[in-house]
Chain A
Amino acid sequence: MSAVTTPRRRSAATERARGWKRRAPLLPALVFVLLVTQLPFLATLVYSLRSWNLLRPDSRMWVGLANYTSVLTDAQFLGAALNTVLITASCVLVAMALGIGLALLLDRGFVGRGVVRTLVITPFLVLPVATALLWKHIMFEPVFGLVNFLLSPFGAGDVDWISQSPVFSVVVALVWQWTPFMTLLVLAGLQSQSRDVLEAGAADGASRWQMFTWITLPHLRRYIELGVLLGSIYVVNTFDTIYMMTQGGPGTASANLPFYIYQRTFLGFDIGQSAAMGVVVVVGTIVVALLALRLIFRTFMSTQEAAT
């Protein structure tokens, strides 16, 4: 080692050491998430290229993309995909609209505000499995259910909501469950709004509606975007509500992708095909999520206020 190069080497080495020192606190979490989420997904990729039905032990062999062709031509899979989009989009949008309304009501100072806020967030805290049972056996029950009782003065008697409109019933339960989450997010946004701007707006003679559309709504934008993103992530994966309320039925009328894949895996025992379905879902989700995340990241990472 010559005397000339030593200092530079040492500085490169300390630089590297410093880099690792900075990275060290991050690594346990990163490695943990990689191991628990990415490794199984790699295995899913491998399974998806194989024929593997648990009921036929001799069925294990490489089949290339055959699983994918049968998945993409499976009408039930496509129906479940459509249901997933329908359930997720309607649930997130309706819950967000209701959430904005509730948050505006709760943003004022009034007697018992804390109590009403507590009431409103409660459905989000109730166990989702319990929520599904509540809607199935107490609200939507055809004969003794509360919904039909309340609707009976309007001539809607013994509707069997779950079997006649399974997707609608599931969406109602999910909207009820997710509206509090949206309310909390929008409420947080409303409360972080600067009072000065609002007062200036009022002084300039803006009407309430003008203030809402020109000042409040733009300020809320990123809260709304975040609510839509997080809500979508969780609602796309909804399994418990469908498992408990409809079992995906009647037939596969209300099955979404998580439930349909679960059926193929744990009731149909077709590992290869369900793996291929999982991969298709992941690809589809990533395409949608990339678009959404790009939007969100623009707002997250920008240091300036959203002044649009």
Chain B
Amino acid sequence: MGGSLLTLFTWAVGLVFVSPVLWLVLTAFKHENQAATDPPTVVFRPTLDRFTAVLDADFLPYLGNSLIATLASTLLVLLLGLPAAYALSVAPVKRTKDVLFFFISTKMLPVVAVVVPIYVAAARLSMLDNIWTLVVLYTAMNLPIAVWMLRSFFLEVPVAIVEAARVEGAGLPRVLWSVMLPVMAPGIAATALICMIFAWNEFFFAVNLTAAQAATVPVFLTGFITSEGLFVAQLSAAAVMASVPIVVVGWFAQGQLVRGLSMGAVK
């Protein structure tokens, strides 16, 4: 009895917690005159008009930029981070602790403290309003956390299976590729997911370093609010469309996320 009450309570807490998102989604399907009423409108005929209006406001180029920045930077993080994590775990270099400390300490550096030189450098290299500038910055932003997480997953691979493969004559590349990476796949997925969330959501560099050509989805939302800020339903539709890709990826990979965080946390 007490158990089912607690279950009911848990459900209630979960629903209350997520209710702002539910309301946002609901609002996105309203007509504009139903979106801002007192008391709030709950029963209405849903419409997709707001979503088409957002697409008409040239949403797709922003979406494309966000996809490039997110996917390319995550790929780069893995390309640079996997070897580094290997060097810090399986065949540890000297002063491993210092290197790890250095990596995480770069996360302590407030981005505002480096944005001016980055702006000046990007201007001199004609890289302002260029999506690859964001790719480079997002890679540097996520690499430290990724190295920490990936290192913990390398440490997790059982020594026995690595040695068994060695005994059977497999060289290092082969051991890495066909023994270690498959075991680590869930961890790599979790790391990639964390990097994707932070890259997709990043705003500061995007708003300061891009303009018409390379602006990403978060920047799209700011432009939206200044020009048509009073249209709450349309704003909701835009917010939903801007969030959906990462929310869906996160839902599917949440098991990985919990595992990844826990292993990354304590190893």
Contact = CB atoms under 8 A, between A and B. Distances in A.
B108 A286 contact: yes
Given A189-B265, A223-B266, A239 B247 contact: no
A275 B240 CA distance: 37
Contacts of B250: 121-122, 124-125
A69 to B, nearest CB: 19
Contacts, number: 283
Interface stretch (B49-57, B180-188, B195-203): B195-203
A125 B257 CA distance: 12
A120 B143 contact: no
Contact of A149 (B17, B18, B38, B236): B38
A126 B243 contact: yes
Nearest to B11: A116
Interface in B120-139: 120-121, 136-137, 139
B194 to A, nearest CB: 10
Nearest to B26: A138
A112 B11 contact: yes
B165 interface: no
B97 A127 contact: no
Interface string A93-121: 00000000010011010111001111111
Nearest to B239: A130
A285 B17 contact: no
Interface stretch (A22-30, A60-68, A198-206): A22-30
B36 to A, nearest CB: 4
Interface in B96-125: 97, 99, 101-118, 120-121
B81 A29 contact: yes
A297 B118 CA distance: 31
Nearest to A223: B265
Interface string B23-45: 11001000000001111100000
Contact of A26 (B83, B246, B265): B83
Given A149-B38, A244-B225, A110 B112 contact: no
Interface string A269-308: 0010011011101100110010001000101110000000
A44 B140 contact: no
B213 interface: no
A192 interface: yes
A30 B103 CA distance: 8
A164 B103 CA distance: 41
A41 B140 contact: no
Contacts of A135: 20
Interface stretch (A3-11, A71-79, A210-218, A255-263): A255-263
B208 interface: yes
A243 interface: yes
Contacts of B105: 286, 289, 293
A138 B27 contact: yes
B14 A128 contact: no
B93 A146 contact: no
A308 to B, nearest CB: 15
B87 interface: yes
B258 interface: yes
A14 interface: no
A115 B18 CA distance: 12
19 contacts: A19-B94, A25-B86, A38-B106, A40-B114, A47-B117, A110-B10, A111-B7, A115-B14, A118-B254, A121-B257, A122-B18, A129-B218, A137-B229, A146-B20, A185-B265, A191-B262, A226-B266, A262-B208, A297-B97
Interface of A: 19, 22-26, 28-30, 32-33, 36-41, 43-44, 47, 102, 105-106, 108, 110-112, 115-130, 133-135, 137-139, 141, 143-144, 146, 149, 176, 179, 184-185, 187-189, 191-192, 222-223, 226, 230, 233, 236-237, 239-240, 243-244, 257-258, 261-262, 265-266, 271, 274-275, 277-279, 281-282, 285-286, 289, 293, 297, 299-301
Given A29-B143, A240-B203, 12 more contacts: A29-B81, A30-B84, A37-B114, A43-B120, A105-B10, A126-B243, A127-B246, A184-B257, A192-B262, A236-B110, A258-B110, A274-B116
